[in-house]
Amino acid sequence: MSYEKLAKDILKNVGGEANVNSVVHCTTRLRFKLKDESKANTDILKNMDGVVTVVKSGGQYQVVVGNQVPEVYDALVKGSGLDGDGIVPDNDGEKMKPLDAFIDMISGIFAPALGVLAATGMIKGLVSLLVAFSWVAPTSGTYIILNALGDSFFYFFPIILAYSASKKFHVNPLLAMVIGASLVYPTIVAQLPATLAASGGKVLYTLFAGTIFESPIYMTFLGIPVIMMSYASSVVPIIVSIWFASKVEPFFKKVIPEVVRTFLVPMLTALVVVPITFIFIGPITTWASDIVATGFTAVYTFSPIAAGAVLGGLWQVLVIFGLHWGLVPLALLNISTTGSDPILALMLGTTFAQIGSVLAITIKTKNKKLKGLGYSSFISGIFGVTEPAIYGITLPRKKPFIITCISAAIGGMVLGAFGTKGYMVGGLGVFSIPSYLNPKAGIDMSFYAVLIAIVVSFVLAYILTLMFGLTKEDQEVPVAVVETEVTTSVLPVEVEMSGEILGSPLKGQVLPLSEVKDPVFSSGIMGDGIAILPEIGQLYAPADGKITLVFPTGHAVGMLTDDGAEILMHIGMDTVELEGKYFEIQTEIDTVVKKGDLLLKFDIEGIKQDGYEIITPIIVTNTPKYKKIKPLAKDQSEIIVGADLLDLEINSGGQ
């Protein structure tokens, strides 16, 4: 598949570059913010090869691509006028609903960082396992280096979030990173109350004495007391700080002459934002964060089992609508304030419930296309990427999706009952398991609960899907199945038929369908017919009728004859991969044609030089409506265009 072509087609069908305010991507989705969603061709996008589905949620128009989304995203940015981060200024003046605006902001800030955050979290989890099994000593150089690598991203999270927030709030990225770096500067860290108290630092005075906000003051800024707090691994303070910078920076851009704007704007912005962050923004947001974290902890403590059932059961629904982004910063907040988080732990079972259900469907189905999609979705699901499973398999069938929610809820109850928590943001799927290893207690019962919840969610979803989740269609062999490039029938309409003779659409050598290497054609699943090895690269209409199918790549043409036969003519094998190269389309859908009209030109030698077969099946896709489809030309014989090729004998008594 050409990522460039797919990206170009997606951009065209979301309304073009002029309709895009911004676009970012996560693990499997292109997340567009469009000026006018009504200009997007949703139905075309959903049926586009390479697109799983389309989701509208949280103020975003989300095109689900799958595991290839980074490549498609890069191709989209390179092939458009969007800047290197796929973002253009949001200047359409459209007001978003508060929830949509919040989700849009959170996803825009966190999505670019989560991949590397997960990677470093996985390294930290690996280090924890090495120590737990006594394979590496905590005092060894190996441990020190690997632990620093695993800790670095989260410890310096304010700098990382400053960069991604700068993109969202349109602030100079380097200036934003300087603001973030100031929060974790070593000298600043050395001024923390705990450090100063331990070293005998002098308390100047105490603010808010006798309240929950009581704060000893060790230092001032221009005589203003500074309440020092630890901002390493913090989330909220830097986001609010960069938002504040987005208001300050434009002011200085307006009032400072252009000749000195390059250095005076960032200097003055930093001089305003950093002190205000330390004096006001940091303490206030930290207190607010502590209150929120404490509140959630209280709810979780009240009934961890109920919390597990709710979060485990609803997590997939939140993911579908993009609402899980609202819980991600809360989970990070829990880790930064308390050292652990139960939110992301309670939803662990959802991934394994999905792949359990998908495996049941994949094993039992007789639909080859569904099997292929099922196995690929199962493999990606093992590593935590469940969108192909959700959108391609379980959600369209409804019952399997409900079963996965129930199974994940029970898995969440297991995790809640044993008090399982995450101690870092690690990978997804099986890669997330080390994240639940307590760095102090090591392997304890709460960690074993992770393995129990995975098994319970997986097995329960598998069994329930086998019992209640399979549709009748999933268990039957399709009458006519084509791989992703063609449809089941060229034109699925009822037309009164009579017997008819089809002429040859090509000049070349007649071959039986069994000579075609693609089993979809050679097995007759698509329908009966015949094959021709063409000598001249020109395809003609085999009868009078109307064109019903012309692939954009030009490799296949379908038509409905006046007598009711549905014909598919497919030039070569896998030639869809040529993406139109060597093909010249001479007709279009809904064109009325006569027998012998030119439909297509193609370069035989070019196709062969690129390594593709040119044998061409001519298939009657509504074969079941005929008594017999009889070849009129002998195998291996030469045939000219228009010569009698197939005799379609009608069933006695009509249809």
CATH for 28 = 3.30.1360.60
Candidate from 87-91, 502-506, 544-548 with smallest mean pLDDT: 87-91
The pTM for the full model equals 0.52
Would the pLDDT of 89 be above 60? Answer: no
Residues designated as active site: 26, 570
Are the CB atoms for 312 and 412 separated by under 8 Å?
Answer: yes
User: Pick from 291, 297, 286: which is nearest to 215 by CA?
Assistant: 286
The whole-number average pLDDT for the span 470-499 is 47
* pLDDT tens per residue across span 325-350: 567 777 877 787 778 888 888 988 99
Domain-embedded: residue 126: no
Q: What is the pLDDT of residue 26?
A: 66
One domain for residues 40 and 170? no
Within 8 A by CB and 6+ apart from 597, the residues are: 540, 541, 587
Q: Is 489 a member of any domain?
A: no
What CATH number is associated with residue 600?
2.70.70.10
pLDDT digits (tens, 9 = 90+) for 194-220: 777 777 778 888 888 888 788 888 889
Angle, vertex CA 468, rays to CA 467 and CA 469, nearest 5: 110
Taking only the tens place, the pLDDT of each residue in 386-396 is 767 886 788 87
One domain for residues 293 and 311: no
104-113, 242-251, 476-485, 544-553: which has the minimum mean pLDDT?
476-485
Whether 364 is covered by a domain: the verdict is yes
Question: What's the angle, vertex CA 148, arms to CA 144 and CA 149, rounded to 5?
Answer: 120
The torsion angle over the Cα atoms of residues 260, 264, 265 and 269, rounded to 10 degrees, is: -170
Domain count of the fold of the chain: 4
pLDDT of residue 97: 62
Q: Are residues 231 and 357 in the same domain?
A: no
pLDDT mean over 619-627 = 84
Residue 493 pLDDT: 40
Based on the fold, state whether residues 314 and 329 are members of the same structural domain.
yes
Whether the pLDDT of residue 56 is over 70: the answer is yes
Q: Of 20, 95, 118, which Cα lies nearest the Cα of 63?
A: 20
124 φ/ψ angles, rounded to the nearest 5 degrees: -65, -40
Structure-model confidence comparison of residues 244 and 637, the more confident one: 244
pLDDT at 523: 67
Q: Write the DSSP string, 169-219.
A: HT--HHHHHHHHHHHT-HHHHTT-HHHHHHTTPPP-EEESTTSTT-EEE-E
My answer on whether 163 and 258 are in the same domain is yes
What mean pLDDT comes out for the span 558-583? Answer: 86
Q: How confident is the model at residue 490 (pLDDT cuts 50, 70, 90)?
A: very low
Name every residue whose Cβ is closer than 8 Å to that of residue 508 and which is 6 or more positions away in sequence.
532, 533, 534, 535, 536, 616, 638, 639
Domain that holds residue 294: 156-300
Does any domain span residue 260? Answer: yes
- Residue 485, pLDDT score: 38
Q: Identify the band that residue 495 occupies on the pLDDT scale cut at 50, 70 and 90.
A: very low
Bigger pLDDT: 293 vs 507: 507
pLDDT band at 59 (very low <50, low <70, confident <90, very high): confident
Which value, in Å, is the radius of gyration of the alpha carbons in the chain? Answer: 31
**For the residues 260-271, what does the mean pLDDT come to?**
93
Same domain, 308 and 421: yes
- Do 589 and 635 have their domain in common? yes
Domain identity same for 521 and 556: yes
Cβ neighbors of 334 (< 8 A, separation 6 or more) are 293, 296, 297, 340, 341, 342, 343
Q: Which residue has the higher pLDDT, 629 or 331?
A: 629
Of 300, 322, 356, the position where a domain reaches its end is 300
Question: Distance between CA atoms of 30 and 378, rounded to whole angstroms?
Answer: 22
How large is the average pLDDT for residues 247-262?
Answer: 90
Q: How confident is the model at residue 67 (pLDDT cuts 50, 70, 90)?
A: low
- CA distances (Å), origin 119, targets 224, 435, 451: 41, 11, 21
Mean pLDDT of all residues in 105-114:
72
- Tell me if 493 is assigned to some domain: no
- Answer yes or no: are the C-beta atoms of 253 and 265 closer than 8 Å: yes
Q: Is residue 115 part of a domain?
A: no
Task: Bin 319: left if φ > 0, else alpha if -120 < ψ < 50, else beta.
Answer: alpha
- Final residue of a domain: which of 265, 300, 335? 300
Closest to 583 (Cα-Cα) out of 544, 561, 554: 554
Q: What is the pLDDT of residue 415?
A: 94
Q: Are residues 429 and 577 in the same domain?
A: no
Residues 307 and 296 both lie in one domain: no
Domain-located, residue 420: yes
Choice among 233-237, 244-248, 458-462 with the minimum mean pLDDT: 233-237
Query: 431-468: per-residue pLDDT in tens?
Result: 888 889 888 877 889 999 999 999 999 999 999 999 98
Same domain, 450 and 319: yes
The pLDDT of residue 256 is: 92
Q: What is the mean pLDDT of the chain?
A: 82
Judge whether residue 543 has pLDDT over 90. yes
Q: Which residues of 351-375 are buried (b: 16+ CB within 10 A; e: fewer)?
A: bbbbbbbbbbbbebbebeebeebbe
Domain-terminating residue out of 63, 78, 95: 95
User: Measured in whole angstroms, how far is the alpha carbon of residue 316 from the centre of its chain?
Assistant: 13
CA distances from 360 to 154, 406, 458 (A): 38, 16, 10
d(CA 439, CA 8): 47
Please write the tens of the pLDDT for every residue from 507-542: 999 998 888 887 667 767 677 899 999 999 999 999
Question: Among candidates 453, 184, 149, which has minimal Cα distance to 336?
Answer: 184
Q: What is the pLDDT of residue 114?
A: 67
Residue whose structure tokens are 């349109």: 170
Query: Do 373 and 248 share a structural domain?
Result: no
With beta carbons less than 8 A apart as the criterion, state whether 218 and 201 touch.
yes
How far apart CA 189 and CA 183 sit, in angstroms, is 8
Residue 150 lies in a domain: no
Query: Both tokens of residue 103?
Result: 């989700």
How much is the pLDDT for 475?
A: 63
- Checking if the pLDDT of 187 tops 80, the result is yes
Mean pLDDT in residue range 157-168: 90
